Amino acid sequence: MNNILLPAVISALLALSPSPAHAQSAAQFEFISNDFRADLTVSQSPPGACRSGFSFDARWGGCVRQSSESGAESRSCPAGQTGTQRRTRSRTVYTHQNGGVQQGSWSSWSSWTGTCTTPAPVTPPAPPTPTPGTQFPIPQSISAMICSSGDPGYSSGGNSLIQSAYRNQLISYYRSFGIAGRCPESSGYSYWLSDWWSRASNAANGPFHDAGGSAAGLQWSTFVNGHMPDAWDDIKRAIDASAARNDEAGQGGVSAANGLCQRAANAAYGAGKTTATYILKSGNQCRVTAVH
């Protein structure tokens, strides 16, 4: 009976023995027999087939090394506050002995950290201390005046096709008008330019469409601009008539300009701190006449 079982047992032992390709595995075999039975004990000494730094993990089916990976994100503090906040999370990374990598699940995000601060209110600087004789312009925030091509609204006022020469002509007339001689405000500037262009367009419409009118090669805008001088006298009469109704040419215009200068002085130096008046024929300039 023993002679029959022994070869089978030896074959089983050989099958369990590590092959030369896996020589780093260490196994010990113990064979005990008697006339009726044979016992085989197989034990494997650590670390078995795992290299240094790796350990067997049944969940991942092999020898692995564990490490930790972290992730982070940041955000700006709410509007009106300064600073940055940050939060983190982590997960375990399993590096297989055979080179493969698997990641565990991310942990929950941590709470946001980082201090958000509200800046201290900025105290505006004290207004400058004026002296009698100090001069300053009426700012656009008080009255949007058009005094030159550098002022906002110069090119867009009225019809945009009106040439600069006629825009400057209207400004010059305003600055020489009446006692005050101030620059036109944007509303009046745009109104009279539009009226002027309309009158010139009416005068140009017939000739432009007559035989030989547009044949001269002129565009409509150029043709109408050529008729602007013909309508100028009508525009001047309309401006004068409008000014007569509110005394713009007389003391009414001066008083209105003085009021704008006082408002500008209050904004610049503080209410009740100064008295300011308009400088006649200056267009938009003011002068401090007293300091309180």
Model pTM score: 0.56
What average pLDDT does the segment 248-260 reach? 95
Is 14's pLDDT higher than 80? Answer: no
Element (H, E) at 54: none
Q: How confident is the model at residue 62 (pLDDT cuts 50, 70, 90)?
A: confident
Predicted confidence (pLDDT) per residue in 17-31, tens digit? 443 333 344 444 444
Predicted confidence (pLDDT) per residue in 136-180, tens digit? 999 999 999 999 999 999 999 999 999 999 999 999 999 999 999
The dihedral sign for the CA sequence 194, 195, 200, 202: positive
pLDDT of amino acid 33: 53
Is 216's pLDDT higher than 70? Answer: no
pLDDT of amino acid 114: 92
Peptide bond into 47 cis (omega under 30): yes
Let me know the angle formed at the C-alpha of 34 by 31 and 38, rounded to the nearest 5 degrees: 45
Predicted confidence (pLDDT) per residue in 225-239, tens digit? 999 999 999 999 999
User: From the CB of residue 203, how many other CB atoms can be counted at a distance below 10 Å?
Assistant: 17
Contact status, residue 132 vs residue 288, Cβ threshold 8 Å:
yes
Contact status, residue 71 vs residue 90, Cβ threshold 8 Å:
yes
